[in-house]
Amino acid sequence: MKVISDTGLLAEACAVLAGADFVTIDTEFMRETTFWPDLCLIQMAGGPEEVIVDTLAEGLDLQPFFDLMANENVLKVFHAARQDVEIIHYLGGIIPHPIFDTQIAAMVCGFGESVSYVMLVKKILKQDLDKSSRFTDWSRRPLSDKQLTYALGDVTYLRELFPSLREQLRKNGRAGWLDEEMAVLTDPATYEAHPEEAWKRLKMRVKTQKALAIMLELAEWREREAQSSNVPRRRVMKDEAIYDIAAQAPRSEKELSSLRSVHQGFARSARGRGVIEAVGRGLERDPGTLPEIKRNKPLQPGAIAVLDLLRVLLKSAAGRHGVAPKLIATVDDLEQIARDDNADVPALHGWRRDLFGKDALAIKHGKLALAVIDGQVSVLAASDIRQVAAQ
């Protein structure tokens, strides 16, 4: 097992990996007490090369690794890539490309929703992984051989999983589906954290424009405070407190401290003053700059019936094509389609539209129908159903 803590050795290893057909990558990080992830290990495998990079080693420069990640001639294979890519983007300012995510590929190939690495290894490679080290504090040193072996397994088995999944995608003609998903994962906008857009992380629990304006300002203030202090958002202020403050609009330390969601010590602190200032900015905000408060009306009886049909259609389509239902459409997607033919949801775009969306709209307008034939849900032309019924 090669554990690298020297920049020169890292450069040598990355040069070897750059010549492999593909490189499997995983990271170990800690984020429980910070806003930004603390990278603790990088594991890589490609060809015969297998390495662990001790990213906490004194004096280690990760530039050779970032150069490898930016190398367009090297395919990078991850499992559940989003957080790994986010860390690389944060630390190196680059997005790995091209990439292949085995978790998404497995969902496309019918292995279920958000299938775990352990389960995928068991299903495809018929191997049982030792999970006893999964709760390791990766920031602690030294790490035991058992912990390092566990960490390396996240890329060595991945090296065997990737060709199998790639071949399945080739056989079922779904490689293009995965390309659409990878485009999202490699879009820098996916990882950009703009404080002024932090309100989008919150569920709209406000009823008035005044409360909405305050909520937006508080969310932006909390995001900036969490980033600058490098602490989780909840350590600065919980979501519930934001909703409470937005509704009550306290303008003084006394008013802020009277809220059940805020303790007196906070109200007297610098952060308390920051909250009061954010409330003031919210109250002064131009209503024309606020997003619309969307209040979905209850579905009409007809739309409820359509929603029920769409649920059945989704399960049927997922079963017929061997794709995880969650990857095709969410419950919210289905409800929006039931309300609006032109809903801007993934289920009505790209391969999802071909697989499900077109039939969803056709069923909604009576052009297709669902029938149980030989114990299976089938999609038929509505005219065929009417002819059968007339006989």
- Residue-wise pLDDT for 306-324, tens only, equals 999 999 999 999 998 989 8
Q: Which domains can be identified in the chain, with CATH numbers? A: 2-190 (3.30.420.10), 195-289 (1.10.150.80), 301-390 (1.10.150)
Model pTM score: 0.85
Rounded CA-CA distance 209/237 in Å is 22
| Mean pLDDT along residues 146-156 | 96
**pLDDT above 70 coverage of the chain, percent:** 97
What secondary structure letter does DSSP report for 263?
-
- pLDDT value at position 391? 52
Residue scoring higher pLDDT (303 or 12): 12
Rounded CA-CA distance 346/341 in Å is 13
CB neighbour class for 177 (10 Å; exposed up to 12, middle 13-18, buried from 19): buried
- pLDDT value at position 147? 96
> Hey, what are 292's tokens?
């619309």
Rounded CA-CA distance 235/225 in Å is 10
pLDDT at 382 over 80: no
pLDDT at 301 over 60: yes
Cβ 337 vs Cβ 348: under 8 Å: yes
Q: What is the pLDDT of residues 326-381, one digit of tens each?
A: 999 999 999 999 999 999 999 999 999 999 999 999 999 999 988 888 888 888 88
Cβ 161 vs Cβ 102: under 8 Å: yes
CA angle 11, 159, 16 (to 5 degrees): 20
What secondary structure letter does DSSP report for 355?
I
Residue scoring higher pLDDT (374 or 116): 116
User: Cα dihedral angle (330, 331, 335, 341), rounded to 10 degrees?
Assistant: 20
- pLDDT value at position 390? 54
| Mean pLDDT along residues 38-58 | 97
- pLDDT value at position 6? 96
pLDDT at 46 over 60: yes
| Mean pLDDT along residues 18-25 | 97
Residue scoring higher pLDDT (114 or 256): 256
pLDDT at 386 over 80: no
Which range has the top average pLDDT, 36-50, 130-144, 172-186?
36-50
| Mean pLDDT along residues 136-144 | 95
Helix 331-339 vs helix 301-321: angle between axes, to the nearest 10 degrees? Answer: 130
* 160-173 core/surface letters (b: 16 or more CB in 10 A; e: else): ebbebbbebbeeee
pLDDT interval class at 303 (50, 70, 90):
confident
Cβ 229 vs Cβ 35: under 8 Å: yes
Mean pLDDT of the chain, nearest integer = 93
